[in-house]
Amino acid sequence: MVEFPPVGTPVFLTADAEATYRSRLEEVDGMQIAVAAPLETTDRITLQPGQKLDLFWAQPRSRAVLPCRLVSAGDDASSRWVLEAVGAPAISNRRQFVRGGGGGALHLMADEQGPLGARLLDISEGGLRCWTEHAVQAAVNDRIQAAVSLHGGKVEIDGVVHAVRDAWDMPGYNVVMRFQAEEPLAQSIRQHIFAAEIAERRRGQD
């Protein structure tokens, strides 16, 4: 049987293959679970009460996954999200990449177009999301490249388009790119996310 971790344990919420949110367990009361409002807020408007989510947390050599539905989501970073469990927690061996480190500039280069200026929304060892004001002439699974400034220097990443959609919060487009990071790139991405988290905590303490 999988037990809940202690209050205060870092947890993650995933709505689909494109959205993973970092959070913290705050309370468990029967089937209801309260977590801290996730650090990532750019997609919150797309998450509505009743939507199904997976809550997961780290276990030795695996992770525990609990299927839930969203009951309520606060409007600011200091609020709580309330979830309701719709199943039992189970062990999963599927690796989950942590996402973060958004805010920097990057350039996109599609086969028929480029370079396009863009802004990084977040990145993981398996993909990145960015915003650009330019129309992207690339379809799903087309090859695409991104020149990204990470902690320690600029890197060029080759991948494929996973999605291109209208941005909801400003004119332009959100582009999701998928790639497989070899260890040197994966390490740079992890260091970049870690450095961004430290900077974010320091800003919150000021």
Instruction: Please name the CATH architecture into which domain 105-205 falls.
Output: Beta Barrel (2.40)
CATH topology classification for 10-92: Pnp Oxidase; Chain A (2.30.110)
Q: Both tokens of residue 97? A: 């990449």
Evaluate whether 11 touches 56 at the Cβ level (below 8 Å).
yes
Q: Decide which of 175 and 193 is more confident.
A: 175
Q: Which segments of the chain belong to CATH 2.40.10.220? A: 105-205
pLDDT, the chain, mean = 82
Residue 7: DSSP 8-state: T
Average pLDDT over residues 67-90: 84
- Distance CA(5)–CA(51), nearest Å, equals 23
Q: Which segments of the chain belong to CATH 2.30.110.10? A: 10-92
The answer, yes or no, to whether the previous bond of 171 is cis (omega within 30 of 0) is no
Nearest Cα residue to 83 out of 74, 71, 73: 71
List pLDDT tens digits, range 162-192: 999 998 778 899 999 999 888 888 888 888 8
Task: Say which residue the tokens 């009951």 belong to.
Answer: 71
Average pLDDT over residues 26-44: 78
Nearest Cα residue to 62 out of 33, 39, 27, 89: 89
pTM as predicted: 0.56
Evaluate whether 121 touches 43 at the Cβ level (below 8 Å).
no
- Distance CA(202)–CA(190), nearest Å, equals 19
Q: Both tokens of residue 14? A: 């995933």
List pLDDT tens digits, range 102-125: 889 999 998 777 789 999 999 988
pLDDT of residue 160: 94
Residue 202: DSSP 8-state: H
